[in-house]
Amino acid sequence: GEDVEQSLFLSVREGDSSVINCTYTDSSSTYLYWYKQEPGAGLQLLTYIFSNMDMKQDQRLTVLLNKKDKHLSLRIADTQTGDSAIYFCAEARGSTLGRLYFGRGTQLTVWP
């Protein structure tokens, strides 16, 4: 399909790991991004990965990229209540420089 796909909801307990999955569309996408949106706010960049990488780690965040399956995941270790937000996956398609294509977002709820 043409859409970036994400599951809509994820609930975890505080201290557990969260894994948010995304399937993107274009095998020639150059960069893949994870953005976070807190209630009533705009989006903020969390992390991104270049398409020639398989994994990127940044403190509690680990991004895994499977280019064969066009699958991207974001793992948040030791999830905290402050991580509750909507997480958006986005791809920069190779044919459309200057634009991002966003998924619908995954609402992460962290229970104490």
Enumerate binding residues for another protein (CB under 8 A): 4, 8, 30-31, 33, 40-45, 48, 50, 88, 92, 94, 97-100, 102-105
- Residue number, 3 or 78, with CB nearest to another protein: 3
Min dist CB 16 to another protein, Å, is 26
- Residue number, 15 or 94, with CB nearest to another protein: 94
- Residue number, 14 or 102, with CB nearest to another protein: 102
Min dist CB 5 to another protein, Å, is 10
- Residue number, 18 or 33, with CB nearest to another protein: 33
Query: Which of 92, 95, 112, 79 is CA-nearest to residue 45?
Result: 92
Distance CA 27, CA 67 (A): 7
Q: How many CA atoms lie within 13 A of 5 on its CB side?
A: 8
Min dist CB 97 to another protein, Å, is 4
What is the DSSP annotation of 8-69?
SEEEEETTS-EEEEEE-S-TT--EEEEEEE-TTS-EEEEEEEETT-SEEEETTEEEEEETTT
Distance CA 22, CA 18 (A): 13
Min dist CB 56 to another protein, Å, is 11
